[in-house]
Amino acid sequence: MEKPNAAAYFRGEDRYNCAQAVLKAYASPIGLGDACLQRFSRHGNGRAPEGECGALFAAKAILQDQAAKQKTEEEFLRAAGSTKCRDIRKKRTLTCEQCVQKAADAVFLRLDDGHALQPPMECAS
């Protein structure tokens, strides 16, 4: 699999938010449909649980094991200075577009490490 350009989906033609853009970048290998992407429309703009960045929330949602989720969060925290959307915006450490690509890149690194992806629990039928 080639490294996806999640930032291209962010606020692009389909107007995906940060969480949706990360999901869209990995939709094909996971087999995600539009219904799942639509469910994640409520997790952009700082509305993910506990104010977490939506891009990070989506990245962790598609990683299968806890170790991969933890490593992704640690990498994101180092780059952004926080895992909370409001803090990242206030500090201006990364733009929203950069958060999207950082989260998607972290998922790609986990795949390189041999970790697997899964559909988000929120999208389970």
pLDDT tens-place string over residues 38-53: 999 999 999 999 999 9
Token reading at 62: 């598609």
d(CA 82, CA 10): 20
Q: Is 115 exposed, middle or buried (0-12, 13-18, 19+ CB in 10 A)?
A: middle
Inform me whether the pLDDT recorded for 125 exceeds 80. Answer: no
Q: Answer yes or no: is 121 within a domain.
A: no
Predicted structure pTM score: 0.95
The answer to whether residue 123 is domain-embedded is no
Domain presence at residue 125:
no
122 part of a folded domain:
no
**C-alpha dihedral over 19, 122, 67, 90, to 10 degrees?**
30
Confidence of residue 15 (pLDDT cuts 50, 70, 90): confident
Q: Is residue 1 part of a domain?
A: no
pLDDT over threshold 80, residue 31: yes
| Residue 117 phi, psi dihedral angles, 5° rounding | -105, 160
Classify the C-alpha dihedral 125-117-96-16 as positive or negative.
negative
Residue 100 domain flag? yes
Share of the chain above pLDDT 70, in %: 99
Per-residue pLDDT band for 11 (boundaries 50, 70, 90) equals confident
Q: Which of 29, 14, 37 is nearest to 64 (CA)?
A: 29
Q: What is d(CA 112, CA 122) in angstroms, rounded to the nearest whole number?
A: 25
> Which two three-digit tokens encode residue 7?
């930032």
Q: Is 124 contained in some domain? A: no
Instruction: State how many domains the chain has.
Output: 1
Quote the pLDDT of residue 84.
98
Domain, as residue range, for 55: 6-115
Tell me: pLDDT of 124 over 80.
no
55-80, pLDDT tens digit by residue?
999 999 999 999 999 999 999 999 99
Please report whether residue 98 resides in a domain.
yes
Provide the pLDDT confidence category of residue 111 given band limits of 50, 70 and 90.
very high
